[in-house]
């Protein structure tokens, strides 16, 4: 290798590294809804990659992140998301916008435009992009951005949004038109959803955008409707449309009954644009939905066509991103909360500081590792950030902060509620109180989970009532609920005979809740609602589940070693067995519909992994076929895997693992021939 090549090598390796990092960031943002880096950090990496690719044109790759937008397509991704959505090609490519974080850059962009050009300024809503197709006034498709060329049709979920009309009854509409916009979860609904998730000890959504994206990809439109999405529309496409400007078309869409923001303005100078940005930088904090910037578009549609596009973005539009809000404040003390599963969460108690229109006094510190990583202690001045996230977070400390001690930050060793010595399970980041039966927050938390809407759904037994009945000695565990008497409840403060009777009616109704929800309601660690359904399908009685081994449980999809061990441990605890016996005597549903008898034993003793997409049957149908012929489904490849049922777009990691272990791959047709279907 010559000297010139040696000098180039680090930059060339940086190109490959940046491509990997950006693809990974796109996947986590668009598919998992779990962003790991900020928008600004992503854009900085992208700009660096663009500069390097210009420096080394021989490294051009059409698959580079600089040449396409991130993809939110569910099918063909390496995630565990299951999808029944049809993938449809966009009529017009759905590109992203170039981002800027500098007002100076925005001024420069405006000044480079043709003289006298009108600019439409709009709020940049922080949601999930959507494309709505209308034929003869009827909504026929609702596509996500996907990869810009094709998207998932989520029309059944979109139809749950009240602000999106299914039909336009007018004589002045074209045969076909397309409206694009953002699907959003309003702040109020976002906070309510996160409160639900917090009560269930499920991971919280970081911001409304993640929550909206996750909601829109759910397979159950009823749950989508319950969460309360909204949609703001901002662009019309099609042939023979009314109006010669972008603004005129939006006004037309508004007249047709579409949800178009009232904040859109036509600007004629740099000063007007800057005034618009300055106004909404403050006023946006009073809006019911999340915004993260301003979008500028050339108003004249003919000028838009003349300016054209790059590979990823239109040249006639740009986005200005508001900087994340960050304030310095005093960390007064660290307190600790105990959840229903015993997890101890440290909480930062702060000198009150204003962020994004609200006063912040508390922020989660997650766990001991997080505290050590930031090296923070009470008395430090810390940076608190909100940005696009409603959940305040501490992102660092003032570098000049003087430490009173050179030792590492300390975490408590005993439960702050019951005094029990805390334990830390190997492989987990959290400390936990093991005193399940004697720690008040755990006892009350388990009861709150048991009566919640998605579990036993017992109305009237809210957090305050449970706390009251617990303090009066009437509730010590979930089985005590079914021993409550009218006179005991009615005698409590703020409760009367009518409220007591409503509670008892709810308790009686809960005896009809199906077995899968009873299993979820028990609150076994890491057994969520979906996992409980899968377990209940495999073990249709609590008696059969009680004697299942960890190995047998791991054969169920999405049940890993940790969940299996938690289930086994639950049934080994005699206190739990006593509670279950009381619940059985109370009349709860402890069994469900029996799994169908196997059609044959052709796959007996075989463990099969399914990967990819299929033409003849859905993935769920193939799983049912495997079980019907005596086989077991598994979610990951191991030495115990008999073969992989490999469809189109099989995950590369699974293919690599199968090759390494010598696991055979069967095509869809080969599998059907094997079972003679």
- Active-site residue list: 124
Q: Which among 306, 309, 303, 282 is positioned nearest to 294, based on CA atoms?
A: 282
Are 216 and 229 contacting, i.e. CB atoms less than 8 angstroms apart? Answer: yes
Beta strand 138-144 with 128-135 is: antiparallel
Owner of token pair 């986590």: 28
Owner of token pair 């005590």: 480
Are 448 and 340 contacting, i.e. CB atoms less than 8 angstroms apart? Answer: yes
Annotate 262-320 with DSSP letters as a single string: TT-EEE-SHHHHHHHHHHHHHHGGGSSS-EEEEEEEESBHHHHHHH-B-SSSBTTEEEE
Tally of CB atoms within 10 A around 294: 24
Q: Is the dihedral of CA 456, 461, 466, 470 positive or negative?
A: negative
Provide CB contacts within 8 A for 385, sequence distance 6+.
324, 325, 326, 355, 392, 393, 394, 395
Distance of CA 551 to the CA centre of its chain: 30
Q: CA Rg, the chain, in Å?
A: 28
Tokens of 166: 């299914």
Q: Which among 312, 352, 345, 317 is positioned nearest to 331, based on CA atoms?
A: 352
Q: What angle do CA 512, 198, 570 make, to 5 degrees?
A: 55
CA distance 12 to 59: 8
Are 127 and 208 contacting, i.e. CB atoms less than 8 angstroms apart? Answer: yes
CA distance 562 to 247: 56
Are 290 and 208 contacting, i.e. CB atoms less than 8 angstroms apart? Answer: yes
Q: Which among 290, 159, 273, 153 is positioned nearest to 212, based on CA atoms?
A: 290
Tokens of 586: 């109370």
Owner of token pair 């500098």: 102
Provide CB contacts within 8 A for 614, sequence distance 6+.
622, 647, 648, 668
Q: Which among 362, 385, 374 is positioned nearest to 409, based on CA atoms?
A: 374
CA distance 32 to 411: 31
């Amino acid at each position: 290798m010559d000297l010139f090549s040696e000098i180039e090598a680090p930059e060339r390796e940086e190109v490959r590294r940046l491509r990997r990092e950006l693809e990974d960031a796109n996947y986590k943002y668009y598919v998992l809804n779990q962003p790991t880096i900020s928008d600004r950090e992503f854009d900085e990496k992208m700009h660096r990659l663009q500069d390097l690719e210009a420096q080394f044109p021989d490294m051009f790759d059409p698959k580079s992140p600089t040449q396409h937008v991130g993809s939110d397509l569910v099918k063909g991704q390496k995630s565990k998301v299951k999808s029944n959505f049809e993938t449809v090609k966009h009529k017009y490519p759905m590109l992203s916008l170039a981002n800027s974080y500098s007002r100076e850059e925005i001024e420069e962009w405006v000044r480079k435009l043709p003289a006298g050009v009108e600019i439409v300024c709009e709020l940049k809503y922080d949601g999930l992009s959507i494309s709505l197709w209308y034929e003869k006034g009827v909504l026929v498709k609702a596509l996500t951005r996907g990869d810009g060329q094709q998207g998932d049709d989520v029309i059944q979920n979109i139809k749950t949004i009240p602000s999106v009309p299914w039909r336009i009854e007018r004589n002045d509409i074209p045969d076909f038109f397309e409206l694009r916009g953002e699907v959003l979860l309003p702040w109020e609904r976002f906070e309510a959803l996160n409160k639900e998730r917090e009560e269930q000890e499920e991971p919280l959504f970081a911001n409304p955008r993640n929550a909206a994206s996750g909601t829109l990809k759910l397979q159950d439109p009823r749950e989508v409707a319950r969460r309360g999405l909204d949609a703001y529309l901002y662009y019309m496409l099609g042939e023979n449309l009314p109006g010669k400007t972008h603004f005129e078309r939006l006004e037309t869409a508004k007249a047709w009954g579409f949800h178009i923001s009232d904040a859109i303005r036509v600007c004629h100078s740099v000063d007007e644009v800057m005034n618009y940005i300055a106004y909404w930088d403050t006023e946006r904090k009073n809006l019911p939905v999340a915004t993260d910037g301003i979008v500028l578009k050339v108003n004249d549609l003919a000028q838009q066509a003349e300016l054209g596009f790059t590979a990823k973005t239109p040249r006639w539009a740009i986005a200005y991103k508001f900087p994340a809000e960050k304030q310095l404040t005093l960390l007064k003390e660290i307190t600790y909360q105990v959840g229903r599963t015993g997890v101890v969460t440290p909480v930062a108690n702060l000198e009150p500081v204003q962020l994004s229109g609200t006063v912040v006094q508390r922020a989660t510190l997650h766990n001991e590792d997080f505290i050590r990583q930031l090296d923070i202690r009470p008395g430090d001045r810390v940076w608190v950030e909100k940005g696009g996230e409603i959940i305040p977070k501490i992102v660092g400390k003032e570098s000049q902060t003087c430490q009173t001690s050179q030792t590492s930050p300390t975490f408590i060793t005993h439960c702050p509620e019951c005094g029990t010595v805390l334990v830390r399970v190997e492989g987990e980041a959290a400390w936990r109180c093991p005193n399940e039966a004697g720690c008040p927050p755990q006892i009350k938390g388990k009861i709150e989970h048991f009566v919640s809407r998605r579990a036993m759904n017992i109305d009237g037994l809210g957090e305050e009532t449970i706390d009251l009945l617990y303090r009066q000695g009437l509730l010590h565990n979930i089985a005590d609920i079914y021993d409550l008497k009218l006179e005991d409840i009615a005698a409590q403060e703020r409760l009367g005979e009518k409220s007591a009777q409503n509670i008892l009616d709810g308790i009686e109704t809960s005896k009809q809740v199906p077995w899968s929800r009873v299993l979820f309601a028990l609150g076994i660690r890491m057994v969520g609602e979906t996992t409980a359904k899968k377990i209940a399908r495999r073990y249709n009685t609590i008696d059969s589940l009680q004697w299942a081994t960890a190995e047998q449980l791991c054969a169920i999809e999405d049940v890993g070693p940790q969940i299996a061990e938690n289930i086994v441990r639950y049934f080994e605890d005699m206190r739990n067995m006593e509670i279950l016996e009381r619940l059985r005597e109370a009349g709860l549903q402890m069994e469900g519909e029996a799994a169908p008898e196997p059609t044959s034993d052709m796959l007996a003793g075989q463990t099969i992994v399914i990967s990819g997409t299929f033409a003849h049957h859905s993935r769920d149908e193939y799983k049912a076929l495997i079980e019907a012929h005596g086989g077991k489904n598994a979610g990951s490849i191991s030495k115990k895997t008999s073969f992989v049922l490999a469809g189109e777009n099989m995950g590369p990691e699974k293919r690599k693992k199968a090759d390494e272990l010598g696991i055979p791959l069967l095509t869809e047709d080969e599998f059907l021939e094997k079972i003679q279907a």
